């Protein structure tokens, strides 16, 4: 009888820590065992390269998974390099001793970059005790005639004995079987689900789908019976039949170069991996080798997922390390404003903390994230330049997130994102970029003009917009709730110098202010028009005081506009809050605390209505003047798309007038 050997004290502590706290997710045990099996086959292949006596058939190399519901066991087998009794002792008796790490170091000179072994910490194996109360490892080293068995309950210690008859005693039967005796299911943890074909298949598909060796399992298939015409009518037409199936797809598509992959394969991969029904709008893959090496494959979806703008939406890229899934959605790899991007990053260099499970916010990850971000930006810029139609579709779906990105960072991301924005141009009747807007500005225009409201049609008719257009200035019509908040956060558009030999080449970089056409201090008017308006305001000082008084605290003041062309009056605002911002905030949760815009009633002195006002005042008809003031104010609000304060009063005034 072989004596049980105790785990070393520090090992015991670590083991306890491992099983109970490092891994948060029990189901990763299979990933760890499969990864070890894959490493063992890698080592065998490596040794076979240099040792011609090891006679290996590459095609036979495989990992096999089986289960026995009655015995409550799961077995993971490989025909890799195997372990001697000493190696069993060294690798499995000492926790945090990685034989793989040692193997890699030992062969560092001859291997070059060729060996892509997954293991490195020497703890993964013990994750099996999260689901098993006992683990038996039967292993036979390459070239040895005897198999040994290591067995442990994962608490006190382990035994190592020669294996039983029937256990790896065939000819050339090198490799390892890891047999897990599963714990009973508890209320907290359903272990039984692993004792099934679908349960195991699901884990392989999710975590080990791209392991490079076939992972095989006996599966039950329903097959049509042969010669059904010879059978009695009521005999079953299908019978169950057992068959060995490879359940992983092996080649990770992200490791391939674009030239080796058909777009349709990318599309299939995208749809099946990210559960989308439509093909991606853009696909991009990139690779790095050297100090930090990784492969990345990114997709921009065609449609926004239904929950994109909800709290439940989780951004992130799938993070793999040497083809094994580490995290399904690694949020650190994507900035919030590109949260719609899906894809995979695979890097053997991502340093993981103790186990693959706990990933540190580390320098490598940050470096990759930076590269990912730049890549997305350049992909979007390319799409904007080469495929405007697709870009407009993209922007319709995901533009809102980009706008939030500028707003949430108080404009700090503006330099990164401003050139990705599209706005609706009132003059061109289509979407334009800020750069296009600036390049089309007529001589003398020094601000980017926009109007914000809830509908384009209404904005187009707004007096401030029509008069800006009449002066030859384009106006960007903003109808999304975030628009004006974003613009306020960015304040200016930084236009990079124009390079190349286009007609605008040579233009220096500059910052151009964005201004709401409805703000009172906006001076579209010429100096003459402005001084004329000032003069007219002075001339009618008493009229305006009377009107302002009758309107009470609805307005800050009343004056003559230098901008209006057709309309009799409009509402302008003074200060940082515009009418549109006020409207958006009134719909928000803190409506009653929302700050109000300071409104100015501006009148068109050339409009016939103005003469009526003057006449009423000269006649000393205070009531009539008050009614006119109220009417003009209300109709100006309506034109802006805002509700009148008192609709009953408005209706009464209209009737009185008729």
Query: Which residues contact ligand ADP by CB under 6 A?
Result: 32, 36-37, 40, 78, 80-81, 83, 91-92, 98-101, 119-125, 176
Residue partners of 594: CB distance under 8 A and separation at least 6:
582, 585, 586, 588
Count of positions on this chain that bind Mg ion (CB under 5 A):
3
Rounded Cα distance between 417 and 336, Å, is: 12
Output the smallest distance, CB 347 to ligand ADP, in A: 17
Output the smallest distance, CB 352 to ligand ADP, in A: 10
* Among candidate residues 52, 28, 36, the one with its CA nearest the CA of residue 211: 36
Task: Give the C-alpha distances (Å, rounded to integers) separating 361 from 331, 354, 368.
Answer: 11, 13, 12
Nearer to Mg ion by Cβ, of 124 and 154: the residue is 124
Residue partners of 484: CB distance under 8 A and separation at least 6:
450, 452, 478, 516, 578, 580, 581, 584
Nearer to ligand ADP by Cβ, of 121 and 274: the residue is 121
Mapped onto helix, strand or coil, the DSSP state of residue 112 is coil
Length of the chain: 658
Asked if 36 is part of the footprint of Mg ion (rule: CB under 5 A), the reply reads yes
Strand order through the sheet with 569-574: 557-560, 598-603, 569-574
Nearer to Mg ion by Cβ, of 31 and 342: the residue is 31
Count CB atoms within 10 A of the CB of residue 6: 12
Asked if 119 is part of the footprint of Mg ion (rule: CB under 5 A), the reply reads yes
Which one of ligand ADP, Mg ion, none is in contact with 37 (Cβ closer than 5 to 8 A by kind)?
ligand ADP
Nearer to ligand ADP by Cβ, of 80 and 401: the residue is 80
- Alpha helices (H) along 150-280: 197-207, 263-274
The stretch near Mg ion (CB under 5 A) out of 2-10, 121-129, 235-243, 328-336 is 121-129
Output the smallest distance, CB 118 to ligand ADP, in A: 7
Using a 10 angstrom Cβ sphere, with 0-12 exposed, 13-18 middle and 19 or more buried, the burial of residue 657 is exposed
> Are the CB atoms for 308 and 274 separated by under 8 Å?
no
Which one of ligand ADP, Mg ion, none is in contact with 91 (Cβ closer than 5 to 8 A by kind)?
ligand ADP
Output the smallest distance, CB 402 to ligand ADP, in A: 41
> Are the CB atoms for 448 and 493 separated by under 8 Å?
yes
Asked if 124 is part of the footprint of Mg ion (rule: CB under 5 A), the reply reads yes
Output the smallest distance, CB 174 to ligand ADP, in A: 10
Which one of Mg ion, ligand ADP, none is in contact with 122 (Cβ closer than 5 to 8 A by kind)?
ligand ADP
Output the smallest distance, CB 431 to ligand ADP, in A: 53
- Alpha helices (H) along 493-621: 527-539, 541-551, 579-587, 608-618
Asked if 209 is part of the footprint of Mg ion (rule: CB under 5 A), the reply reads no
Output the smallest distance, CB 194 to Mg ion, in A: 18
Beta strand 317-321 pairing with 324-330: antiparallel
Six token digits for residue 626: 């008050």
Nearer to ligand ADP by Cβ, of 80 and 463: the residue is 80
β-bridge partners, 64:
77, 216
Output the smallest distance, CB 482 to ligand ADP, in A: 47
Rounded Cα distance between 407 and 483, Å, is: 9
Mapped onto helix, strand or coil, the DSSP state of residue 485 is helix
Output the smallest distance, CB 105 to ligand ADP, in A: 12
Which one of ligand ADP, Mg ion, none is in contact with 120 (Cβ closer than 5 to 8 A by kind)?
ligand ADP
Asked if 99 is part of the footprint of Mg ion (rule: CB under 5 A), the reply reads no
Nearer to ligand ADP by Cβ, of 125 and 404: the residue is 125
No. of H helices and E strands in the chain? 20, 25
CA atoms within 13 A on the CB side of 43: 29
Six token digits for residue 575: 């200060």
Rounded Cα distance between 80 and 212, Å, is: 13
Nearer to ligand ADP by Cβ, of 45 and 98: the residue is 98
Output the smallest distance, CB 158 to ligand ADP, in A: 13
Six token digits for residue 182: 């599963």
Which one of Mg ion, ligand ADP, none is in contact with 616 (Cβ closer than 5 to 8 A by kind)?
none
> Are the CB atoms for 77 and 60 separated by under 8 Å?
no
Nearer to ligand ADP by Cβ, of 36 and 209: the residue is 36
Output the smallest distance, CB 290 to ligand ADP, in A: 24
Which one of Mg ion, ligand ADP, none is in contact with 83 (Cβ closer than 5 to 8 A by kind)?
ligand ADP
Nearer to ligand ADP by Cβ, of 139 and 397: the residue is 139
Residue partners of 356: CB distance under 8 A and separation at least 6:
28, 32, 121, 124, 321, 324, 326
> Are the CB atoms for 251 and 293 separated by under 8 Å?
no
Output the smallest distance, CB 100 to ligand ADP, in A: 4
Which one of Mg ion, ligand ADP, none is in contact with 80 (Cβ closer than 5 to 8 A by kind)?
ligand ADP
Which one of Mg ion, ligand ADP, none is in contact with 333 (Cβ closer than 5 to 8 A by kind)?
none
Nearer to Mg ion by Cβ, of 36 and 519: the residue is 36
Nearer to ligand ADP by Cβ, of 26 and 612: the residue is 26
- Alpha helices (H) along 68-154: 85-93, 99-106, 108-111
Output the smallest distance, CB 14 to ligand ADP, in A: 11
Which one of ligand ADP, Mg ion, none is in contact with 14 (Cβ closer than 5 to 8 A by kind)?
none
Asked if 321 is part of the footprint of Mg ion (rule: CB under 5 A), the reply reads no
Nearer to Mg ion by Cβ, of 122 and 405: the residue is 122
Nearer to ligand ADP by Cβ, of 33 and 462: the residue is 33
The stretch near Mg ion (CB under 5 A) out of 118-126, 190-198, 311-319, 566-574 is 118-126
Q: State the residue number with the nearest CB to Mg ion.
A: 124
Which one of Mg ion, ligand ADP, none is in contact with 640 (Cβ closer than 5 to 8 A by kind)?
none
Please give the residue ranges that form the binding site for Mg ion (CB under 5 A): 36, 119, 124
């Amino acid at each position: 009888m072989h004596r049980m050997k105790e785990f070393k004290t520090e090992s015991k502590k670590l083991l306890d820590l491992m099983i109970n706290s490092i891994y948060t997710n029990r189901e990763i045990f299979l990933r760890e065992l499969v990864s070890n099996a894959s490493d063992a086959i890698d080592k065998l292949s490596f040794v076979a390269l240099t040792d011609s006596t090891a006679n290996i058939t590459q095609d036979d190399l495989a990992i096999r998974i089986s289960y026995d519901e009655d015995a409550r066991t799961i077995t993971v087998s490989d025909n890799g390099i195997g372990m001697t009794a000493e190696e069993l002792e060294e690798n499995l008796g000492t926790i945090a001793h990685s034989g793989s790490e040692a193997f890699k170091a030992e062969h560092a000179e001859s291997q070059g970059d060729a060996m892509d072994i997954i293991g490195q910490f020497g703890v993964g194996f013990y994750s099996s005790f999260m689901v098993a109360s006992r683990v038996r490892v039967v292993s036979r080293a390459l070239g040895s005639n005897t198999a040994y068995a290591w067995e442990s309950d994962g608490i006190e210690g382990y035994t190592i004995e020669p294996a039983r008859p029937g256990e790896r005693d065939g000819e050339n039967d090198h490799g390892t079987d890891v047999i897990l005796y599963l714990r009973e299911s508890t209320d907290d943890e359903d272990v039984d689900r692993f004792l099934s074909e679908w349960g195991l298949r699901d884990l392989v598909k999710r975590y080990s789908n791209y392991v490079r060796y076939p992972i095989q399992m006996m599966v039950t298939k329903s097959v049509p019976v042969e010669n059904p015409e010879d059978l009695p009518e009521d005999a079953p037409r299908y019978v169950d039949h057992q068959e060995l199936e490879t359940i992983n797809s092996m080649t990770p598509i992200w490791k391939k170069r674009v030239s080796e992959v058909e777009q349709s394969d990318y599309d299939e991969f995208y749809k099946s991996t990210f559960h989308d029904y439509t093909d991606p709008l853009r696909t991009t893959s990139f690779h790095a080798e050297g100090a930090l090496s990784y492969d990345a494959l990114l997709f921009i979806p065609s449609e926004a997922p239904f929950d994109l703008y909800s709290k439940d939406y989780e951004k992130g890229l799938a993070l793999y390390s040497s083809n094994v899934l580490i995290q399904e959605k690694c949020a650190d790899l994507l900035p919030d404003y590109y949260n719609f991007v899906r894809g995979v990053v695979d890097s053997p260099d991502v340093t993981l903390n103790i186990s693959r499970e706990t990933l540190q916010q580390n320098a490598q990850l940050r470096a990759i994230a930076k590269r990912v971000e730049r890549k997305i930006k350049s992909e979007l810029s390319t799409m904007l330049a080469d495929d405007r139609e697709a870009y407009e579709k993209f922007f319709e779906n995901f533009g809102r997130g980009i706008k939030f990105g500028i707003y949430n960072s108080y404009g700090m991301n503006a330099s990164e994102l401003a050139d990705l924005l599209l706005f609706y141009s009132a003059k061109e009747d289509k979407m334009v970029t800020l750069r296009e807007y600036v390049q089309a500005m007529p001589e003398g225009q020094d601000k980017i003009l926009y109007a914000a409201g809830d509908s384009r049609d209404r904005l187009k008719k707004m007096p401030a917009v029509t008069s800006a257009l009449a002066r030859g200035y384009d106006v960007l019509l903003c109808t999304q709730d975030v628009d004006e908040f974003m613009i306020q956060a960015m304040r200016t558009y930084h236009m990079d110098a124009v390079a190349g030999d286009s007609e605008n080449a040579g233009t220096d970089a500059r910052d151009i202010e964005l201004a709401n056409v409805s703000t009172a201090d906006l001076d579209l008017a010429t100096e003459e028009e402005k001084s004329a308006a000032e003069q007219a305001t002075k001339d009618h000082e008493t009229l305006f005081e009377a009107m302002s008084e009758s309107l009470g605290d609805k307005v800050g003041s009343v004056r003559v506009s230098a901008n209006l062309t057709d309309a009799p009056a409009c509402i302008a605002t003074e200060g940082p809050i515009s009418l549109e911002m006020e409207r958006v905030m009134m719909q928000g949760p803190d409506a009653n605390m929302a700050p109000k815009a300071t409104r100015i009633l501006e009148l068109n002195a050339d409009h016939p209505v103005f003469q009526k006002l003057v006449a009423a005042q000269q006649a000393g008809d205070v009531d009539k003047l008050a009614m006119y003031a109220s009417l003009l104010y209300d109709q100006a609000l309506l034109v802006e798309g805002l509700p009148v304060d008192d609709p009953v009063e408005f209706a009464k005034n209209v009737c009185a007038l008729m």
